[in-house]
Structure 1
Amino acid sequence: MLKHLAILACTLLALPALAALQVTDDRGAVVTFDRAPQRIVSLLPSLAETVCELGHCQRLVGVDRYTNWPESVKALPRVGGGLDPNIEQIVALRPDVVLMATSSRAGDRLRALGVKVVALEPKTHADVQRVMLKIGQLLEVQDAQRIWRAIDAAVMAAAQSLPAGVRGTRVYFEVNPGPYAAGESSFIGETLTRLGVKNIVPASLGPFPKLNPEYIVRANPDLIMVGERSVDGMMQRPGWHSLRAMRGQHLCVFPADESDTLVRPGPRMAEGARIMARCLASRAPAVSKGAARP
């Protein structure tokens, strides 16, 4: 009898360890939790959006200054940005975990203060899927894969909606006025590829390279995609007035809300694909001119 009681006691003592939740982040660090985090601070908009898409927006207790979707997060405390977070404010929120990009400078300082950190860096479609599943694991959401499948199917549907004449359009997508571009290897570039168009910025230059404006002049894209925050001054760049896209008004200028959707590698990628598809359908030379591109 005593032997059985001893075995039972050992089993019960082992249960918390067995129930512990472990997540390996993008730094390769294993972070252990006694239970799924209930109080979350996010320092990257796409990570906060993913938490909400997985059905746990109510667990967010603080976000970075740029997070603005869905509407409910606008009421949350702002704790700075990924590069300049307010460490004291974050600690005061008593988070069970802080979600941040691997490039954030805050990780070591927070860990030194005893705050658990999970660093995740979505840059490609595969990354977005992986991060979706990783946060799903963290939140103990069983159907995170289903959400990714819906995103993937919606991107495919956006591609199928385009007229055949759009295929092969040479596109330049400016992320912000460095000019920084979305290259082929970025999640934006991968979406453009799936839409059947050609990115003028090859994968060899990296996901979001800073370009010499002369590079774009030499590449002479058929169509330019840019946010309204970045469009000012484009025509003043040397040689840009002669660009095929500028001469023919083959230019899509996205309002701020659409730009946010487009540049965030998260659950709104499907909507981003639809926005780009609408741009291509209305502004690509072969469609707007009713003839072959010049």
Structure 2
Amino acid sequence: MFKPLLWLLAVALPAAAAVEIKDDGGATTRLEAPPQRIVSLLPSLTETVCELGACARLVGVDRYSNFPASVNALPKLGGMDDTNVELIAALKPDVVLLAVSSRVSERLRALGLKVVALEPRSYKDVQRVLGLVGQVLNVPDAQRVWRHIEAGVAAAASSVPPAAHGMRVFYEVSSGLWGAGESSFMGETLTRLGAVNIIPAALGPFPKLNPEYVVKANPALIMIGARGAQGLAERPGWDRIDAIRRGRVCVFSADEGDVLSRPGPRMAEAAQIMARCLREKAR
């Protein structure tokens, strides 16, 4: 007796419309319905999916995705150079989110999997990627996350004292002397906090530098991870750098490094970490 009513309800409630996503690699992926089984192969994308309320839809993540804590219980699918394609296929995802620089995109597509490649490197990229992931997930107001980020960065900037404004900063993001340039999301945060990056936008977001370049630039403050900070003052000529002579070096923990290095929902927290460094070293 209830079958006609159920049929009427089914007709009355339209299914979510299919969407076509043009990703950062130039490929277009059509999703007939919001994906219920998602694989994420980039930590910032994992965090974005979770921030948009779809953490429960994740069925696997890359080795480095570790936030929020719940994703640590998911199958780990390797890193950039050793992604486990067979395990990804076995998980039967509705969509795989990964970096444009990932080497497995075409292999996954050849297996018939839906792939969306995204590469957030700047503030503008992060805002755009939030919108695209929101479309993938069928989340209507993904930009609420961006508004939260902007408000948090503005609050962090207001906490930086005038004495720190104009301070010349070198941010070493990885061993081998890779730095965060002006055009990177890290560099943009430094600029918003009133600091001056010694790496101009012309050198790219994350250039590999000659040690002498940093010596000549003579930063007043160095930001660096705990691993890279070992033996910093012993680098040839670096004892002449103002930041090292004055003890103006901020050494970030591994957890802080994760927050700082991921262009995603925790960028406001990253700005607060940088702002605290600037406040402390400007004294």
Flag whether TM exceeds 0.5 (same fold). yes
Q: 1:128 maps to what in 2?
A: 126
Q: 2:200 & 2:37 partners in 1: Cα distance?
A: 41
In structure 1, the residue matched to 2:63 is: 65
1:273 counterpart = 2:275 = no
Q: State which of 28, 31, 34 in structure 2 corresponds to 1:30.
A: 28
Shift of 1:19: 2.5
**In structure 2, what is the equivalent of residue 249 of structure 1?**
247
* CA-CA distance at 1:233 after TM superposition: 2.8
Larger CA deviation: 140-149 vs 98-107: 140-149
Aligned residue number for residue 238 of structure 1:
236
1:161 matched to 2:159: yes
Give the C-alpha shift of residue 256 in structure 1: 0.3
Q: Distance in 1 between matches of 2:40 and 2:87?
A: 13
Match of 2:150 among 149, 152, 156: 152
Structure 2 unaligned blocks of 5 or more: 1-10
Structure-1 residue corresponding to 2:19: 21
SS of residue matched to 2:29: strand
Tell me by how many angstroms 1:202 deviates. 0.4
Question: RMSD between aligned alpha carbons?
Answer: 1.3
Query: Aligned partners of 2:207, 2:134: CA distance in 1, in Å?
Result: 31
CA distance in 2, matches of 1:202, 1:189: 9
**DSSP 3-state at the match of 1:229:** helix
Q: Does 1:143 align with 2:141?
A: yes
User: Is 2:49 the counterpart of 1:51?
Assistant: yes
Alpha-carbon displacement from aligned partner over 1:205-260 (angstroms, at most 9, x marks no partner): 00000001110000010000001122123222100122110111100000000001
SS in 1 for 2:230: coil
Counterpart amino acid of residue 181 in structure 2: G
Find out whether 1:99 has 2:97 as its counterpart.
Answer: yes
Q: Distance in 1 between matches of 2:162 and 2:138?
A: 43
Percent sequence identity is 62
Say if 1:82 and 1:100, in contact at 8 Å, map to a contact too.
no
2:220 to 219, 222, 241: 222
1: distance between equivalents of 2:265 and 2:74?
Answer: 20
- Separation of aligned partners in 2, 1:261 and 1:19: 35
Gapped regions of structure 1 (runs ≥ 5): 1-11, 289-294
Cross-structure match for 1:3: none
1:39 aligned partner: 37
Aligned length: 271
Q: Distance in 1 between matches of 2:206 and 2:57?
A: 32
Q: Is 1:207 the counterpart of 2:205 in the alignment?
A: yes
Specify the SS of the correspondent of 1:225: strand
Deviation of 1:72 after TM superposition, in Å, equals 0.5
**TM-score, normalised relative to structure 1:** 0.90
1:186-205 aligned within 5 A:
186-205=184-203
Kindly state the Cα deviation for residue 274 of structure 1 after the two structures are TM-superposed. Answer: 0.2
Aligned to 1:7: none
Indicate the larger mover: 81-90 or 262-271: 81-90
Matched letter for residue 280 of structure 1: L
Q: C-alpha separation between the residues in 2 aligned to 1:246 and 1:273?
A: 23
For residues 165-201 of structure 1, the C-alpha deviation after alignment (integer angstroms, 9 at most, x for no partner) is 1100000000011100000000000000000110000
Give the deviation of 1:20 after TM superposition. Answer: 1.6
Give the 3-state SS of the residue equivalent to 1:73 in structure 2.
helix
4+ residue segments displaced more than 4 Å: none
Alignment partners' CA distance in 2, 1:37 and 1:251: 45
Q: 1:75 maps to which residue?
A: 73
In 2: Cα distance, 1:220 partner to 1:274 partner: 25
Question: Which structure has the bigger radius of gyration?
Answer: 1
Retained in 2: the 8 A contact 1:49–1:70?
yes
Query: What corresponds to 2:110 in structure 1?
Result: 112
Q: 1:131 Cα deviation (Å)? A: 0.4
